[in-house]
Amino acid sequence: MKVLLLGSGGREHALAWKMVQSPELEKLYVAPGNAGTADIAENVNIPVTNFEAIAGFIAEKDIEMLVVGPEDPLVEGIRDFLQRDSRFGELMIVGPGKDGAILEGSKDFAKQFMKRHGIPTAAYMTVTPENVSEGQRFLTTLQPPYVLKADGLAAGKGVLILHDLKEAQQELENMLGGKFGKASSRVVIEEFLKGIEISVFAITDGKDYKILGSAKDYKRIGEGDTGLNTGGMGAVSPVPFADEVFNRKVEEKIVRPTVEGLKKDGIDYRGFIFFGLMNDNGEPAVIEYNVRMGDPETEVVVPRLKTDLIQLFRAVATGRLAETALASDDRYCTTVMLVAGGYPGNYEKGNVISGFEEIEDSIVFHAGTKLADGQVVTNGGRVMAVSSFGRKMTEALQRSYMNVAKINFKDMNYRRDIGKDLLELGAKH
Ligand code: AMP
Ligand code: GLY
pLDDT digits (tens, 9 = 90+) for 196-211: 999 999 999 999 999 9
**pLDDT for residue 158:** 87
Q: Between these two residues, 184 and 381, which has the higher pLDDT value?
A: 381
**Cβ pair 269, 321 in contact under 8 A:** no
42-43 vs 375-378, strand pairing mode:
unpaired
Q: Cα dist. 67→77, 298, 313 in Å?
A: 14, 14, 8
Min mean pLDDT across 322-331, 370-379, 420-429 is at 420-429
Instruction: Write out pLDDT tens, residues 11-62.
Output: 999 999 999 999 999 999 999 999 999 999 999 999 999 999 999 999 999 9
Residue 164 amino acid letter: D
Taking alpha carbons only, the member of 73, 58, 60, 78 closest to residue 3 is 58
- Mean pLDDT score of the chain, rounded to an integer? 95
Give me ligand 2 centre to Cα 294, in Å. Answer: 4
Is pLDDT at 156 greater than 90 in this prediction? no
**pLDDT for residue 153:** 86
Residue 231: nearest ligand to its CA? 2
Ligand 1: atom nearest CA of 107 is: 3
Is pLDDT at 178 greater than 90 in this prediction? no
**Got the DSSP string for 53-120?**
HHHHHHHHHT--EEEE-SHHHHHTTHHHHHHTSGGGTT-EEES--HHHHHHHH-HHHHHHHHHHTT--
Q: How far apart are CA 415 and CA 223, in angstroms?
A: 6
Is pLDDT at 234 greater than 90 in this prediction? yes
Q: How far apart are CA 284 and CA 107, in angstroms?
A: 18
Cβ 288 under 6 angstroms from ligand 1: yes
Cβ 297 under 6 angstroms from ligand 2: yes
Q: Binning pLDDT at 50, 70 and 90, where does residue 130 land?
A: confident
Q: Binning pLDDT at 50, 70 and 90, where does residue 85 land?
A: very high
Cβ 171 under 6 angstroms from ligand 2: no
Q: Between these two residues, 380 and 241, which has the higher pLDDT value?
A: 380
Decide: helix, strand or coil at residue 321.
helix
**Cβ pair 47, 333 in contact under 8 A:** no
Is pLDDT at 155 greater than 80 in this prediction? no
Average pLDDT over residues 177-185: 85
**pLDDT for residue 76:** 96
| Phi and psi based region of residue 250 (left: phi greater than 0; alpha: psi -120 to 50; beta: remaining) | alpha
Give me ligand 2 centre to Cα 343, in Å. Answer: 16
Cβ 104 under 6 angstroms from ligand 1: no
Give me ligand 1 centre to Cα 159, in Å. Answer: 7
Q: ω into residue 32 within 30 of 0, thus cis?
A: yes
Question: Distance from first CA to last CA of the chain, Å, rounded?
Answer: 40
Give me ligand 1 centre to Cα 287, in Å. Answer: 6
Average pLDDT over residues 336-363: 97
Q: Binning pLDDT at 50, 70 and 90, where does residue 427 land?
A: low
Is pLDDT at 429 greater than 70 in this prediction? no
Cβ 122 under 6 angstroms from ligand 1: yes
Give me ligand 2 centre to Cα 295, in Å. Answer: 5
**Cβ pair 340, 349 in contact under 8 A:** yes
Cβ 104 under 6 angstroms from ligand 2: no
Cβ 295 under 6 angstroms from ligand 2: yes
Ligand 2: atom nearest CA of 296 is: 1
Q: How far apart are CA 50 and CA 47, in angstroms?
A: 6
Rounded to 10°, the helix 165-176/132-141 angle is 150
Check: pTM over 0.85? Answer yes or no.
yes
**Got the DSSP string for 173-187?**
HHHHTTTTGGGGSSE
**pLDDT for residue 182:** 85
Give me ligand 2 centre to Cα 10, in Å. Answer: 11
